[in-house]
């Protein structure tokens, strides 16, 4: 879409976060990255609650990269929460996990995830993935109203995503 489209990353591991940020750098994906460090914080960010109320500072993301294994609330719990929010469940979600656990994969899709990716180990593979994601999700993909115009607009639009 545009290079201003925000990417929200939920990741508790410092190393993984560092590698991911570096991968986006390497892949020259310039979009702003918003970071939350656990599931609870992710929910707060997405619902614009507390310190995340300011949508100018913390804009609604076009893509949500979600790690599964996190403290406070796990990635799966965030997905569950999302599936219960009529306005929010249109948000494209890419699950980032350390393993291709069959049960996790099925459950994640069941709860509305749009992709399931196993974290690459190598620097090069990671950079390639960051580039592919930038190309696909942030440029090729047409996001729903909520990502571009926010919750209010999504509500007015008649909730095409919601309750459909």
- From 1-9, 10-18, 108-116, 134-142, give the range in contact with other proteins by CB under 8 A: 10-18
Residue number, 57 or 102, with CB nearest to other proteins: 102
Helix (H) or strand (E) holding 17: helix 14-26
Under the binding rule (CB under 8 A), the answer on residue 68 touching other proteins is yes
Q: Among candidates 84, 95, 72, 4, which has minimal Cα distance to 47?
A: 84
**DSSP secondary structure string, 86-136?**
TTGGGS-EEEEESS--HHHHHHHHHTT-SEEEEPPSSHHHHHHHHHHHIII
- Shortest spacing between CB 121 and other proteins, in angstroms: 5
Binding other proteins (rule: CB under 8 A), the pick from 2, 15, 140, 164 is: 15
Pattern 76-105, other proteins, x by CB under 8 A: ---------------------xxx-xx---
Residue 9: both structure tokens together: 């990353």
3-state secondary structure of 67: strand
Binding site for other proteins (CB under 8 A): 13, 15-16, 19, 22, 68-69, 97-99, 101-102, 119, 121-124, 126
């Amino acid at each position: 879409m545009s290079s201003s489209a925000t990417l929200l990353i939920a990741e508790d591991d410092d190393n993984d976060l560092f590698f991911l940020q570096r991968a986006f750098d390497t892949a020259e994906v310039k979009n702003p990255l918003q970071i939350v460090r656990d599931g609870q914080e992710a929910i707060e960010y997405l619902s614009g609650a507390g310190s995340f109320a300011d949508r100018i500072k913390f804009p609604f993301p076009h893509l949500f990269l979600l790690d599964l294994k996190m403290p406070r609330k796990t990635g799966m719990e965030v997905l569950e929460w999302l599936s219960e929010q009529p306005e929010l469940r249109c948000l494209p979600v890419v699950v980032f996990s350390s393993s291709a656990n069959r049960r996790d994969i099925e459950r994640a899709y069941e709860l509305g995830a749009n992709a399931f990716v196993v974290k690459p180990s190598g620097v090069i593979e990671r950079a390639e993935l960051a580039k592919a994601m930038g190309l696909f999700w942030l440029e090729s993909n047409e996001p729903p109203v909520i990502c571009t115009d926010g919750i209010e607009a999504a509500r007015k639009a008649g909730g095409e995503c919601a309750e459909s």
